[in-house]
Amino acid sequence: MSSQKTEHYQLHQWQPQDSVLREEFNANFTALDESVRIVFGSYVGDRQATRFIDLGATPRAVLLMGPNNNSNNTDGGLAFPGVPAVYGADNYKVLSVEEGGFNVYYRTSPYVESNSGSYAHYYIAFI
Protein backbone atom coordinates (compact mmCIF):
# COMPACT_ATOMS: atom_id res chain seq x y z
CA MET A 1 0.00 0.00 0.00
CA SER A 2 1.38 3.43 -0.92
CA SER A 3 2.51 5.61 1.95
CA GLN A 4 2.36 8.96 0.12
CA LYS A 5 0.23 10.84 -2.42
CA THR A 6 0.99 13.69 -4.77
CA GLU A 7 -0.12 17.17 -3.73
CA HIS A 8 -2.50 18.13 -6.54
CA TYR A 9 -4.00 14.94 -7.99
CA GLN A 10 -3.58 12.75 -4.92
CA LEU A 11 -1.86 10.04 -6.98
CA HIS A 12 -0.35 7.15 -5.08
CA GLN A 13 3.41 7.21 -4.54
CA TRP A 14 5.37 4.28 -3.20
CA GLN A 15 8.45 4.14 -1.02
CA PRO A 16 10.83 1.15 -1.16
CA GLN A 17 9.21 -0.43 1.91
CA ASP A 18 5.62 -0.07 0.53
CA SER A 19 3.78 -2.97 -1.07
CA VAL A 20 2.31 -2.17 -4.47
CA LEU A 21 -1.41 -2.76 -5.06
CA ARG A 22 -2.96 -3.00 -8.52
CA GLU A 23 -5.99 -1.04 -7.23
CA GLU A 24 -3.75 1.95 -6.51
CA PHE A 25 -2.38 1.91 -10.06
CA ASN A 26 -5.94 1.79 -11.40
CA ALA A 27 -6.96 4.69 -9.13
CA ASN A 28 -4.01 6.73 -10.46
CA PHE A 29 -4.99 6.06 -14.08
CA THR A 30 -8.62 6.97 -13.39
CA ALA A 31 -7.62 10.25 -11.74
CA LEU A 32 -5.38 11.16 -14.69
CA ASP A 33 -8.06 10.22 -17.21
CA GLU A 34 -10.59 12.46 -15.47
CA SER A 35 -8.24 15.47 -15.21
CA VAL A 36 -8.72 18.52 -17.44
CA ARG A 37 -7.01 18.43 -20.83
CA ILE A 38 -6.32 21.58 -22.80
CA VAL A 39 -6.75 21.59 -26.57
CA PHE A 40 -5.43 24.45 -28.70
CA GLY A 41 -6.54 24.92 -32.28
CA SER A 42 -7.67 27.15 -35.09
CA TYR A 43 -10.04 27.14 -38.03
CA VAL A 44 -10.62 29.40 -41.01
CA GLY A 45 -14.11 30.86 -41.14
CA ASP A 46 -16.44 29.90 -43.99
CA ARG A 47 -19.29 32.44 -43.47
CA GLN A 48 -21.88 29.76 -42.81
CA ALA A 49 -24.56 30.81 -40.30
CA THR A 50 -23.55 27.97 -37.95
CA ARG A 51 -20.49 25.78 -37.99
CA PHE A 52 -19.60 22.90 -35.68
CA ILE A 53 -15.97 22.49 -34.61
CA ASP A 54 -15.50 18.82 -33.70
CA LEU A 55 -13.17 18.16 -30.77
CA GLY A 56 -14.13 14.54 -30.23
CA ALA A 57 -15.12 15.37 -26.64
CA THR A 58 -17.44 17.85 -24.95
CA PRO A 59 -15.46 20.77 -23.54
CA ARG A 60 -15.98 22.18 -20.06
CA ALA A 61 -15.18 25.64 -21.49
CA VAL A 62 -14.02 27.23 -24.75
CA LEU A 63 -12.19 30.53 -25.15
CA LEU A 64 -12.32 31.86 -28.70
CA MET A 65 -10.22 34.66 -30.17
CA GLY A 66 -11.08 36.23 -33.49
CA PRO A 67 -8.77 37.38 -36.28
CA ASN A 68 -5.63 39.22 -35.10
CA ASN A 69 -6.26 37.86 -31.57
CA ASN A 70 -9.35 40.03 -31.28
CA SER A 71 -11.66 39.02 -28.46
CA ASN A 72 -14.41 41.59 -28.88
CA ASN A 73 -17.90 40.31 -28.27
CA THR A 74 -18.74 39.74 -31.96
CA ASP A 75 -15.69 37.59 -32.76
CA GLY A 76 -15.26 35.38 -29.73
CA GLY A 77 -15.56 35.07 -26.02
CA LEU A 78 -15.82 32.45 -23.32
CA ALA A 79 -18.56 29.81 -23.32
CA PHE A 80 -19.51 26.95 -21.01
CA PRO A 81 -22.03 24.12 -21.45
CA GLY A 82 -25.44 25.80 -21.37
CA VAL A 83 -23.89 29.30 -21.21
CA PRO A 84 -23.03 30.58 -24.70
CA ALA A 85 -21.04 33.70 -25.49
CA VAL A 86 -23.61 36.18 -26.86
CA TYR A 87 -23.75 39.62 -28.46
CA GLY A 88 -26.30 42.43 -28.41
CA ALA A 89 -29.58 43.07 -26.65
CA ASP A 90 -31.13 40.08 -28.41
CA ASN A 91 -28.32 37.78 -27.23
CA TYR A 92 -27.19 36.54 -30.63
CA LYS A 93 -24.98 33.49 -30.15
CA VAL A 94 -21.30 33.98 -30.95
CA LEU A 95 -20.00 30.72 -29.46
CA SER A 96 -21.71 27.75 -27.82
CA VAL A 97 -20.42 24.53 -26.27
CA GLU A 98 -22.09 21.45 -27.72
CA GLU A 99 -21.78 17.69 -27.34
CA GLY A 100 -18.43 16.76 -28.89
CA GLY A 101 -17.19 20.30 -29.60
CA PHE A 102 -18.52 23.81 -30.12
CA ASN A 103 -20.50 25.95 -32.57
CA VAL A 104 -19.43 29.26 -34.08
CA TYR A 105 -21.74 31.67 -35.88
CA TYR A 106 -21.87 34.26 -38.66
CA ARG A 107 -24.43 36.96 -39.42
CA THR A 108 -24.24 40.40 -40.99
CA SER A 109 -26.83 42.41 -39.08
CA PRO A 110 -25.99 42.74 -36.30
CA TYR A 111 -22.51 41.45 -36.91
CA VAL A 112 -21.57 38.11 -35.38
CA GLU A 113 -18.23 37.08 -36.80
CA SER A 114 -16.95 34.00 -35.00
CA ASN A 115 -17.21 32.25 -38.39
CA SER A 116 -16.22 35.18 -40.61
CA GLY A 117 -14.72 34.05 -43.88
CA SER A 118 -11.08 33.70 -44.87
CA TYR A 119 -9.77 34.56 -41.39
CA ALA A 120 -8.12 32.32 -38.83
CA HIS A 121 -9.87 32.05 -35.48
CA TYR A 122 -8.01 30.60 -32.48
CA TYR A 123 -9.42 28.65 -29.56
CA ILE A 124 -8.47 27.01 -26.30
CA ALA A 125 -10.81 24.25 -25.15
CA PHE A 126 -10.77 22.76 -21.67
CA ILE A 127 -11.90 19.13 -21.86
Structurally, the chain folds into a number of domains equal to 2
Q: Are residues 43 and 103 both part of a single domain? A: yes
Q: Are residues 24 and 54 both part of a single domain? A: no
CA 44 centroid distance within chain: 18
pTM for this model (two decimals): 0.79
- 107 contacts 49 by C-beta, under 8 angstroms: yes
Q: Are residues 19 and 67 both part of a single domain? A: no
Q: Are residues 70 and 24 both part of a single domain? A: no
Please count the other Cβ atoms lying within 10 Å of the Cβ belonging to residue 64: 23
pLDDT one-digit tens code per residue, 43-86: 999 999 999 999 999 999 999 987 766 556 678 899 999 999 99
Q: Are residues 9 and 54 both part of a single domain? A: no
Q: How far is 10 from 65, CA to CA, in rounded Å?
A: 34
Q: Are residues 8 and 64 both part of a single domain? A: no
Q: 31 pLDDT exceeds 60?
A: yes
Average pLDDT score over residue span 91-100: 96
Q: Are residues 72 and 108 both part of a single domain? A: yes
Residue 12: which domain range? 4-34
What is the per-residue pLDDT for 71? Answer: 56
Q: How far is 88 from 121, CA to CA, in rounded Å?
A: 21
Q: Are residues 42 and 22 both part of a single domain? A: no
- 74 contacts 112 by C-beta, under 8 angstroms: yes
Which stretches within the chain are classed as H helix?
22-34
